[in-house]
Structure 1
Amino acid sequence: MSGETPSTTGRDGAGRTGRTTWPVLVTAVAALLVVGWVSVTAWDALVHAHPAYPILLAATAAGAAATIVLEILRPTPATGWRRVVRIALLVLAVAWIGVIGWLRPHSAIEPALLAMTSDETVDVVETPTSITLAPASGGDRTGVFFQPGALVDARAYAAVLRPLVEAGNTVVIAKQPLGIAFLALPAFDAARAAHPDLDRWVLGGHSLGGTVAAMQADAADEDADAPAIGLLLFASYPAGDVSQSLTVPVDSISGTRDGLATPAKIEDSRADLPGTARFTVIVGASHAQFGDYGPQAGDGIPELTDDEARDLISESSVDFVTGLSG
C-alpha cells in the first residue's frame, strides 16, 4: 500500500510554488492590464510624449509577458530564501505597477491640438523632447522656454502660448521625461543650444513646471550669453525664497478658483519672490484652465469658460513678455 500512496512531493511542490506562482501570475497580468489601460486611454499623448514613459510601458509589458511564460513553463520552487526574494520582488512589482499607472499623462484637447498646426504666421516643429512654435516671418531675438505642469501633455499649452508667437517670440515647450519637470532641468540649456539666434529668454511654467522654471531663471538670470530676462508663472510659485537672488521681472498669473495652487498659496508666495513681482489674478479661473487637457482632480470649479480664461491668461502673458523684449 505504501507504494500506492500518492506522492505529496509534486503536489506539495506545486502548492509551495502556487503560494507564490499565483500571486506572480496575477501581478504580471495586472501589469499588462495597466499598460493596456494607459495605452488605450492616452494613446495620442503617448505618441507625442517624451520617449521615456512609452519605453517604460513597453519594458513593463515585455517583462510581464516574459514572467507569465516562465512561471507557466518552468515554475521555481518557493522555498527558503527564494520565497523571501520572490515576495520582495512581488511587493516591488506591485509598487511599480502603481507608479506606471500614476504616470499616465493628461492628454491635450482642443483647441491646443489645432494650435499645433503650422500656418502662414506660426511654424510648429515637434521633436521627441520639445515643441517649438516660431514666428514664420522671423520674429525678435527673445525666446520663451516653458515647462508644463506635472503629467500634462506638452501640446496642451500650444493654444495659450501661441499668441506669444504671433507677437514675435519663439516659444519652446519642454517634453519632460515621465511628465515631471525636475527631470527636464537640462532642457533649457538644450533649447538655448538649439536656438543660438535667440539671445534672451523668458522662463515660464505651469504648476510644478513653474516651480522648476523659477529655479532655472534664478540660475540663468546673470548668464553672459542668452540669459533669463523674466519669469512667467502659471498657477505656480517657487519652491523656496528667491526674493533676493532672482534679479529678473516676474509675472505670477493665478486663478481665484484654483484648487491646487490656491489663492492662499499664491499670496504666501509673495514673500518668496522679488518685491517687484507682478501678480495677475484671473477671477474665476481654475488650475486646469492654464492648459487644454480637461478637468483635474482636486481642482476648483471654474466660473469662466475655457476660452475666456485662456484669452485672459494669454493677454497677460503677451503684455508681460512684450514689455521685457520691447
Structure 2
Amino acid sequence: MAWLHAVLGLVAVVVAAWIWLTRAGVLLAGHPAYLVSVTVVGLAGLALLVLAVRGARGRAGRARAPGWLRVLGRVALALVTVLVVGALAWLRPFPASPEATGLMSGDAGVDVTDSAGRITLTPTGAAPDDGLIFQPGARVDPRAYLPLLTEVAAQGHLVVVVKQPFDIGFTALGAPEGIIEDHPDVSRWSLGGHSLGGVVASAYAQDYPAEVDGLVLWASYPLGDLSDRDDLAASTIFGSNDGLATPADIEASRPDLPPGTEVVEIPGGVHAFFGDYGEQPGDGTPGVTREAAQDQIVEASLALLAAAGS
C-alpha cells in the first residue's frame, strides 16, 4: 500500500505545484473555489507521501483487513485521486493578457471594484440607471474581458463581471440575483456572456423574465427556447472564423432566440477574440486583427444595451 500512497501523493503534489507555478496570478485573482481546491489537493498529496514513508518502515504486528477490502480501498483511492487531480488539471484557466490585467486598476472614466465573486466596472460620471451582468467563458480568467467591457462601462453603463467557481458558468447560475439586489438604483438589467457564459446568461433570462431586459451573446447560443420573448431585446454576436461556436452553431440556434434578435457577424473573427487570453485550442484562424474585431463587438454590445432601454 505504501507504493500506491507514494505514487498518488506524488501525482497530486506535482499537479498542484504545476498549476500554482503557471497560474498563480489567476488563482489569486479569481473565485477562491479553485485556489482552495488546488491547495487542498496539494496538501493531501503531501499527506499521502507521509503515509507512504511511514508504511515503508514496517507493518509488523499490524492487523490486516481481508484481502478484498484492501483491494477495494486501493481502487477507490486511486480512482478518486485520478478524477480529482485530472479535473483540476483540465480546469487550469486561460490567463488574461497583461493589457487586460492592467485595467484592474481602473481606466479613464471607469472605476474598478474587485471582490471574491465579481469585478464591478462603474462609470465615474452620472450614476448609471442600467447595467450589464457578464458571465465569462469556460476556463477563462474573468479579467480577460476587461478590454472590451471597460469600453462598454465608459459609455455610462454599470458592468459586473461574474467570477464563477472553477471558471465554469453552470457553477454560477444564480449569480445575477445577488448582483441585482446589491444595486437597487439600477432600474434596467441586461445579461451577457461568452461561450458557455452566454448559455448560462440565457438560462437566467429565461427563468427570471421580469428581471432581464436585454441579452447579448458573444459566440454563444441560448440554453432553452426564448422565441416567445418579444419583450427581451437580444443580440447574438459571432465570428465568421470561430472554430468552437461555429457560424453553423449560431445559425442553428436562431429559432430559439427572441423575435427581432440582432445577428451580428464579425468577419474573420474567432472565439478567442471575445476576450484577451491568447489563443484557444480548437479555434479557427483569424482573418482580422483582435483590435478591429473587438471594436465591432463593443459597438454591437452597446447597440443592444440601447435597444434594451428603448
1:276 equivalenced with 2:260 (yes/no): yes
| Secondary structure at 2:181 match in 1 | helix
Aligned to 2:231: 247
Answer whether contact 1:218 1:247 (CA < 8 A) is retained.
no
1:121 equivalenced with 2:109 (yes/no): yes
The residue correspondences of 1:17-96 to structure 2 (distance < 5 A) are 20-74=1-55, 79-96=67-84
The residue correspondences of 1:226-265 to structure 2 (distance < 5 A) are 227-245=211-229, 247-265=231-249
CA distance in structure 1 between the aligned counterparts of 2:98 and 2:308, rounded to whole angstroms: 30
Answer whether contact 1:211 1:238 (CA < 8 A) is retained.
yes
CA distance in structure 2 between the aligned counterparts of 1:167 and 1:57, rounded to whole angstroms: 39
Aligned to 1:13: none
Aligned partner (choices 112, 118, 122) of residue 130 of structure 1: 118
| Secondary structure at 1:74 match in 2 | helix
Query: 291-300 vs 137-146, which deviates more?
Result: 137-146
Aligned to 1:285: 269
Distance 1:304 1:120, change over 3 A: closer
1:53-100 superposed Cα distances (whole Å, 9 cap, x missing partner): 000011101111111102211367673312221122112211211101
2:187 maps to a residue whose letter is D
The residue correspondences of 1:198-237 to structure 2 (distance < 5 A) are 198-222=186-210, 227-237=211-221
| Secondary structure at 2:105 match in 1 | coil
1:17-62 superposed Cα distances (whole Å, 9 cap, x missing partner): xxx4323311210111111111111111111010000000111011
Aligned to 1:321: 305
Answer whether contact 1:218 1:246 (CA < 8 A) is retained.
no
CA distance in structure 2 between the aligned counterparts of 1:64 and 1:124, rounded to whole angstroms: 38
CA distance in structure 2 between the aligned counterparts of 1:251 and 1:58, rounded to whole angstroms: 40
The residue correspondences of 1:182-193 to structure 2 (distance < 5 A) are 182-193=170-181
Q: CA deviation at 1:306?
A: 1.2
1:245-285 superposed Cα distances (whole Å, 9 cap, x missing partner): 57301100000010010000000011111231110000000
1:169 equivalenced with 2:150 (yes/no): no
Answer whether contact 1:201 1:228 (CA < 8 A) is retained.
yes
CA distance in structure 2 between the aligned counterparts of 1:323 and 1:110, rounded to whole angstroms: 33
CA distance in structure 1 between the aligned counterparts of 2:187 and 2:294, rounded to whole angstroms: 28
1:134 maps to a residue whose letter is T
CA distance in structure 2 between the aligned counterparts of 1:245 and 1:138, rounded to whole angstroms: 31
Answer whether contact 2:12 2:44 (CA < 8 A) is retained.
no
CA distance in structure 2 between the aligned counterparts of 1:304 and 1:129, rounded to whole angstroms: 34
Q: Give the TM-score normalised by the residue count of structure 1.
A: 0.89
- The CA RMSD over aligned residues, in Å, is 1.5
Answer whether contact 2:5 2:51 (CA < 8 A) is retained.
no
CA distance in structure 1 between the aligned counterparts of 2:216 and 2:257, rounded to whole angstroms: 12
Q: CA deviation at 1:221?
A: 2.1
1:196 maps to a residue whose letter is P
Aligned to 1:146: 134
Distance 1:111 1:310, change over 3 A: farther
* Rg comparison, structure with higher value: 1
1:156-182 superposed Cα distances (whole Å, 9 cap, x missing partner): 111111121111000000000011111
Query: 151-160 vs 70-79, which deviates more?
Result: 70-79
Distance 1:163 1:293, change over 3 A: same
Distance 1:274 1:323, change over 3 A: closer
Answer whether contact 1:149 1:206 (CA < 8 A) is retained.
yes
| Secondary structure at 1:42 match in 2 | helix
Distance 1:119 1:261, change over 3 A: closer
| Secondary structure at 2:213 match in 1 | strand
